[in-house]
């Protein structure tokens, strides 16, 4: 066979008949042959590597997103390079390190961002495109793909008010992140339209332990909300466990709603009503934007979807 036919057999999506591809793969297996990806990248000047830079693996939503990103990249004949980022460092340092692997693009998952926009050069001048996933930097026209967190916060307030709750609390995540800020803005904005404000907005981290502690702290301070919006599902699961320990009945005495729709939220012990992030659509849009021949910038929002379970009383709106 020709060299090009063999090359197409090892290239996902390439134009080659199934029978010919199978003959090549069978022969390669018999000979113990494996294509040299590094040599191919030198010849084509394309590594096929996309860096996934993540700073928070405590939130189960992001391992789930990373797995789906890796699968989507493999389906396109590309490979994911996972790099963890220490939030004490500037994300630019991690981006510069990623660039040394001859990456084609970088996707930055939620982490604290400085006011200096992260980049790997001007894309129009041959730089490497950088995309922020489920995060954006206010005031900067960076390429970002996110759930519409502000609209999701409004929806959370609407659901709790619809259940009859009037004494509401928001337990936030990292206050320096756009995700926390947008969800809080939407939640408080909708309450204000009804002449209400949350009794407390403690914030610290998108973590289970923080949800537990914040709920205990609210109770110790005399706050007895009848509706709680956790900044994400893992915070809300902590809220549910703390309420159970305090003897408060869910949803009869207090309703709880989260954000993300992680797998744990559907477990029988929690039955958490939540705002689902359209993860598949967000990933597809991210890869589409990065593959565009023309540089793409700006924030691309995707609407969240209410997933109704048993942690809020009343009929599904």
Q: How does pLDDT run across 162-211, given as a tens digit for each residue?
A: 999 999 999 999 998 899 999 999 999 999 999 999 998 999 999 999 99
Enter the CATH code of domain 42-147+279-303. Answer: 3.40.50.2300
pTM of the model: 0.84
CA distance 149 to 146: 8
Q: pLDDT tens digits, residue range 93-147? A: 899 999 998 899 999 997 666 657 788 988 878 899 999 999 898 888 899 999 9
Q: Which two tokens stand for residue 79?
A: 């490979």
- Residue 257 confidence (pLDDT): 98
pLDDT for 128 equals 93
Q: What is the pLDDT of residue 309?
A: 97
Select the more confidently predicted residue: 221 or 57: 221
The answer to whether residue 41 scores a pLDDT higher than 70 is no
Residue 77's pLDDT is 87
CA distances from 213 to 194, 205, 243, 315 (A): 29, 11, 11, 30
- What are the start-end ranges of the H helices in 32-60? 37-44
Residue 85 banded pLDDT, cuts 50, 70, 90: confident
Q: Which two tokens stand for residue 45?
A: 């000047």
Q: Is pLDDT larger for residue 223 or for residue 143?
A: 143
Query: How many beta carbons lie within 10 A of that of residue 48, not counting itself?
Result: 17
Under the banding of pLDDT at 50, 70 and 90, the label for residue 15 is: confident
Q: What is the pLDDT of residue 289?
A: 94
DSSP single-letter state for residue 125: G
Mean pLDDT for the chain overall: 90
Q: Output 142 or 57, whichever has higher pLDDT.
A: 142
Specify the DSSP element, H or E, that contains 130.
strand 130-133
Q: Which CATH superfamily is domain 149-278 in?
A: Response regulator (3.40.50.2300)
- Judge whether 42-147+279-303 and 149-278 match in fold: yes
Q: Which of 13-17, 76-80, 242-246 has the highest mean pLDDT?
A: 242-246
pLDDT on residue 140 = 84
Residue 85 phi/psi, 5° resolution? -120, 130
| Burial class of 90 by CB neighbour count within 10 A (0 to 12, 13 to 18, 19+) | middle
Domain boundaries, given as residue ranges, for the chain: 42-147+279-303, 149-278
The sign of the dihedral angle between the CA atoms of 241, 247, 250, 255 is: negative
């Amino acid at each position: 066979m020709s060299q090009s036919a063999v090359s197409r057999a090892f290239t996902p999506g390439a134009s080659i008949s199934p029978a010919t591809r199978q003959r090549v793969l069978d022969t390669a297996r018999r000979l113990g042959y494996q294509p040299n990806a590094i040599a191919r990248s030198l010849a084509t000047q394309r590594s096929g590597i996309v860096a996934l830079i993540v700073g928070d693996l405590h939130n189960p939503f992001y391992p789930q997103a990373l797995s789906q990103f890796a699968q989507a990249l493999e389906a396109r004949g590309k490979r994911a390079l996972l790099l963890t980022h220490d939030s004490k460092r500037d994300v630019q340092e991690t981006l510069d390190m990623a660039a040394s692997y001859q990456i084609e693009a970088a996707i930055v998952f939620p982490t604290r961002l400085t006011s200096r926009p992260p980049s790997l050069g001007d894309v129009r001048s041959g730089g490497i495109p950088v995309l922020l996933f489920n995060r954006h930097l206010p005031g900067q026209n960076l390429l970002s793909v996110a759930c519409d967190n502000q609209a999701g916060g409004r929806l959370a307030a609407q659901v709790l008010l619809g259940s009859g709750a009037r004494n509401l609390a928001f337990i936030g995540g990292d206050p320096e992140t756009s995700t926390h800020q947008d969800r809080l803005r939407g939640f408080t904005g909708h309450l204000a339209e009804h002449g209400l404000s949350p009794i407390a907005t403690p914030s610290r981290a998108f973590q289970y332990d923080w949800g537990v502690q914040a709920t205990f702290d609210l109770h110790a301070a005399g706050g007895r909300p009848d509706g709680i919006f956790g900044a994400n599902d893992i915070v809300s699961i902590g809220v549910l466990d703390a309420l159970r320990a305090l003897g408060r009945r869910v949803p009869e005495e207090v309703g709880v709603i989260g954000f993300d729709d992680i797998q744990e939220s559907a477990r029988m012990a929690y039955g958490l009503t939540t705002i689902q992030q359209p993860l598949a659509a967000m990933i597809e849009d991210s890869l589409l934007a990065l593959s565009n021949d023309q540089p793409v910038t700006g924030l691309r929002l995707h609407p969240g979807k209410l997933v109704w379970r048993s942690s809020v009383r009343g009929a599904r709106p």
